[in-house]
Structure 1
Amino acid sequence: MHILYKYFISWLLYLRILFCLFSFNHNLFRIISGKDHCNGLVRNLQLKRQPKERQKMTDKNTGISCWEIFRRFLVLGCTSFGGPVAHLGYFREEFVTRRQWFNDDTYADLIAFCQFLPGPASSQVGMAIGLTKGGYAGLFAAWLGFTLPSAILMFLFAFGMLNLAYGGDNGWILGLKTTTVAIVAHALAGMASSLASDRKTASIAVLAMCIVFLMAGAAGQVMAIAAGGFIGLFWLKKDQSEGEAEKLGNTHAIGTSLIFLSVFAGLLVALPLIAFHSGILEWRLLDSFYRSGSLVFGGGHVVLPLLQAEMVESGLVGTDEFLAGYGLAQAVPGPLFTFASYLGAMAAPSSTAALGALVATAGIFLPSFFLVLGGLPLWERFRKITRARNAMKGINAAVVGLLAAVFYDPVITATITGYQPLLAAVVSYLLLRHWKLPPWALIILAGVTGQFLF
């Protein structure tokens, strides 16, 4: 309990500092910009007084149906192999290049926002896309579509109903890895051409890449983005020809955002107490996975030490079972955090394995729901301040450098181990970039050919 108490105090202080920093930065940018924001408040009041028919018309013109959002993310959930960085490449190909739901600037803003949050970055980007295009229901539809396929596979494997002979050196696995190199390279080239195309933004991108290489972990990523924003604030100038930035997230009031963030922090404190006093396994699982989803920065693989401490050291899951599930998590599409579905089923009795998987999956993703719902409207208001747009341009360039660093390590270093993977990656890039082969078709082709080549 002493360790949990330290977690509670640290996170309450973290949230307080984060809120104070945001308030300070907001006031600072108001002073720098020299603009009166009373007009913005009046505009918000006018929006609240709009008739419901007017609001529905606005949603219809700017939104996408929840079924469409679910369907698109379900396809991505079935075909997005390769981890968080590759997922961002899949998202860009689908929603920026093909569907044109966003431009590169807006998409980079979403990535930068999610890099500041704990939890699964790619899933949070998907949630933010769903929230922006479909409101609260769109957020849930995006998460469900992207998460459901891998969650079901991980649960079936845990329940002993899926017979998958996995090996890290299997040919089809290596084929999928080479496809990941091509997809990430394609996304990186496209983002660099629009977000780091001049000498200033390109310099910021290279600087951000160097920071990530020199400072490992999530701290380096946050530092790179912060440096890009600071340099962009004073060095870059927003092009006058650029239109108004696309609106992100829902337009609820700041008070609603603070409610979501308060619920996030409140559950972090309350769940351990409930789990301790109730003695019920499901409450214990919810507490363990909610805490893991709240305290991890830097992507899906970083959550593994936390899960190992929560599940293996506590005796809920054996070491061999834990490693077997981790191996399968590398082979299935979708977010790595669905490893929780496997662990929840393994920790529960066989009669309640489905309930254990459901509770664990909900627990590890629930913090991201509250953080995206509470943080994205604040981020939206921040990015619309005149001087803040200069900072956002620097942040977008830094995101390119961040992705370039991650593209080298671990994507290239873990995949290109000889001339055969290199040749396969180059051919995949050729098919994707110049022959316009859809990513899902490329994945199937890579898996089949990889089984014979490797």
Structure 2
Amino acid sequence: MRHRLVAIPPHPKRPRRPETPCARSVLFPITFDSTTTRRACLAGIARQTIPLGLASFGGPIAHFGYFHRRFVLRQQWLSESEFAELVALCQFLPGPASSQFIFELGRRRAGWAGALLAAFCFTAPSAAIMITLAVGVGANPSLAHAGFVHGFKLAAVGAVAQALWSMSRRLCPDWPRVLLALAAGVLVLWRSEAWAQPAIIAGAGLVGLAAPGLSDAPEPPPTSGLSEPPDSARRTTTFLLLVAFGAMLVLPGLVSQQLGWPMGERFEAIYRSGALVFGGGHVVLPMLERRIVDPGWISQDTFLAGYGAAQAVPGPLFSFGAFLGATIAPGMHPVLGGVLGLIAIFLPGWLLIGAAGPLWASLSACRVMRRAVVSVNAAVVGLLGAALYNPLATTSLHSPADAAIALAAFGALLSKRVPPVVVVIACGLLGQLLPAPSASP
């Protein structure tokens, strides 16, 4: 019997799935391409930020070193230029720079839900420790000078040195930009006031505008499926967030007076300290001391003990706000007071980066603005180099053994073969074996 060959029709192609919103907001709707789902992008943010919250020691400057390794070198969520631009923006605004970086990175990846999730994962470990200390475990003032904490600082020196090496090779490829970076570093070491860093960043941008031959202005990097809203929506978002930022400077105090809620006055004091600080977490200390200790809400010894403990935990130094909130909340459970203190100190920085981030994306697409950003990127390299010297190296390297451990951490991170968590733990163990460093005056 003759058999007929029957052509088998091709399998019909699966229809392309429509764009799936990873995070929707009335103010800022963000959609992603068909390969990205809401659950996947949020899970990715949590997976990458939780380890940072558990192992990022050394303060905001060291945090940028860890961020660079994870988000630029490993995950490639950001290019070198995008990383430097975001660092510059966070350094320019008041508030906790590393926490603002994480918040804005989460927003770019998954909208406001991603921003809040990233901030929570990065902050929760240190906040939980600080609330626990305030509740009753006890805060040891000498903890900040323990051997393992000193080892963590040496790991931070290596992390910043590795980030500086990588960024300088890409962002300062010619002598004009090298000289601009050196000038920025020298200026910030010469003028240590809080306004110096924002002024230097702004000045570098003006240099780029005034001297177009200083550097070329590359085309903006292609996006990865993220669809930003139109300019009108960005302006609306910025306006509303700035209104909220200003309102929170006065509303808690008014509510406290009208309703007799003492925590409102304390919330406002912490919020104002977080809103008006430039230059990193250490700058907030005198502001908080004046607003929290002087009214008698907390003793000087308890205040300094909590601040010393905050420097021994991973994550942002602003988690000190959780300790204060748990300690000074009258008639309130310490955990709830700690959460309110944490919100109070971080909220102004989040509002500002949320307002500036969307507009920064549109401004950086302008060729003239990109020319300024190229110069700003070079200046950021100089600022990072200055921070590596002071305060990191000057407060961490006390002996040849310290220098050897920091150099080993730098080499391990540069090799990309040793996880940062392992480097931090190893440095902590080695630091515990060294003679205890003397306390700073």
| Length-normalised TM-score, structure 1 | 0.84
1:355 paired residue number: 336
1:211 and 2:187 correspond: yes
1:418 paired residue number: 399
Spell out the pairing of 1:317-356 with structure 2 (5 A cutoff).
317-349=298-330, 352-356=333-337
SS of residue matched to 1:268: coil
Bigger fraction of residues in helix: 1
Aligned match for 1:272, one of 229, 246, 253: 253
In the TM superposition, what whole-angstrom CA distance separates every residue of 1:32-63 from its partner, at most 9, and x where no partner exists? xxxxxxxxxxxxxxxxxxxx944639514578
Amino acid corresponding to residue 235 of structure 2 in structure 1: I
1:390 paired residue number: 371
Aligned residues: 403
For 1:246 and 1:394, the matched residues in 2 are separated by 25
2:434 paired residue number: 453
For 1:196 and 1:131, the matched residues in 2 are separated by 28
1:283 paired residue number: 264
1:59 and 2:37 correspond: no
| Length-normalised TM-score, structure 2 | 0.86
Q: CA deviation at 1:245?
A: 7.0
1:102 paired residue number: 78
SS of residue matched to 2:62: helix
1:173 paired residue number: 149
* Distance 1:110-1:138 versus aligned 2 partners, 3 A rule: same
Q: CA deviation at 1:441?
A: 0.7
SS of residue matched to 1:56: strand
Amino acid corresponding to residue 82 of structure 2 in structure 1: T
For 1:242 and 1:139, the matched residues in 2 are separated by 23
* Distance 1:446-1:258 versus aligned 2 partners, 3 A rule: same
SS of residue matched to 2:94: coil
Q: CA deviation at 1:162?
A: 5.8
Spell out the pairing of 1:129-168 with structure 2 (5 A cutoff).
129-161=105-137, 166-168=142-144
1:238 and 2:216 correspond: yes
Amino acid corresponding to residue 175 of structure 2 in structure 1: R
1:77 and 2:53 correspond: yes
Unmatched segments (≥5 aa) in structure 1? 1-51
* Distance 1:386-1:241 versus aligned 2 partners, 3 A rule: closer
Q: CA deviation at 1:217?
A: 2.2
For 1:453 and 1:267, the matched residues in 2 are separated by 47
Aligned match for 2:389, one of 405, 408, 413: 408
* Distance 1:246-1:237 versus aligned 2 partners, 3 A rule: farther
Spell out the pairing of 1:105-124 with structure 2 (5 A cutoff).
105-124=81-100
In the TM superposition, what whole-angstrom CA distance separates every residue of 1:106-128 from its partner, at most 9, and x where no partner exists? 01111111112111000001111
1:126 and 2:99 correspond: no
Q: CA deviation at 1:248?
A: 8.9
Spell out the pairing of 1:34-49 with structure 2 (5 A cutoff).
none
- Identity across aligned pairs (percent)? 37
Q: CA deviation at 1:432?
A: 1.7
In the TM superposition, what whole-angstrom CA distance separates every residue of 1:132-171 from its partner, at most 9, and x where no partner exists? 1111000001100000000000000111136768434322
Q: CA deviation at 1:177?
A: 1.1
For 1:332 and 1:375, the matched residues in 2 are separated by 29
Q: CA deviation at 1:195?
A: 0.7
Q: CA deviation at 1:308?
A: 0.7
